[in-house]
Amino acid sequence: MTKPLRKDAQRNRDLLIEAARGLYAARGLDVALEEIAKTAGVSIGTLYNHFPQRADLVNAVFADRTETVAKLAEHALSLDDAWTGLTSFVERVCELQAADRGYNELASTRPPQAEDLERGYELMTRIVERAQASGALREDFTLEDMAFVTWGIARTVEATATVRPEVWRRHLALLFDGMRAPAANPLPVPPLLPGELARIMGGCG
């Protein structure tokens, strides 16, 4: 059982997470740890005491996104129209990416992890299967293809943020049209396997 932090230690941890969240959102994940500590008003030693590795801080900052994505998925499944559920879910996730540069970078380099996104992964599978059962989503679309939809939008957000920050919505609409069952043509190669997707996206990080 993990021992609870002292009040002052918990306060310092919260300050570091809040400082990192703001800096990551504005400037991405490459912000210097020294700057995060300075913004939080603590020493760099205090930062390392709480977060020995940069990844530990990143995971703490974005831990709540797992629950956020799961809630978005639950809402999508509650909608009567399965295609609307699918497209609204993907659009809301992409809006999270567009609003937060750090999360956008994370989304483009880390695939869904069954160990920390098990509930969200199951919900997303249901969203895809439901849309296919309705006849709206092409039958050969897989959850691994979904990862590349959000990855593609992440790169579009990154490339266009300072010129046309909303143009990613046009890109996404084009992708949605390609996902529709009535417009489907045979695909030239089979989909990626889950393990292959993890290797590819992990290598990008």
pLDDT band at 201 (very low <50, low <70, confident <90, very high): low
Query: What is the pLDDT, as a whole number, of residue 115?
Result: 45
pTM of the predicted model as reported, rounded to 2 decimal places: 0.78
137, β-bridge pairs: 180
How confident is the model over 91-135, as pLDDT tens digits?
Answer: 999 999 899 999 888 876 665 444 445 677 789 999 999 999 999
Query: What is the pLDDT, as a whole number, of residue 40?
Result: 96
With a cut of 90, say whether residue 137 has pLDDT above it: yes
The pair phi, psi for residue 180, each rounded to 5°, is -70, 140
How confident is the model over 45-87, as pLDDT tens digits?
Answer: 999 999 999 989 998 998 888 788 889 999 999 999 999 999 9
How confident is the model over 153-175, as pLDDT tens digits?
Answer: 988 988 898 899 999 999 999 99
- Mean pLDDT over the full length of the chain: 87
pLDDT band at 202 (very low <50, low <70, confident <90, very high): low
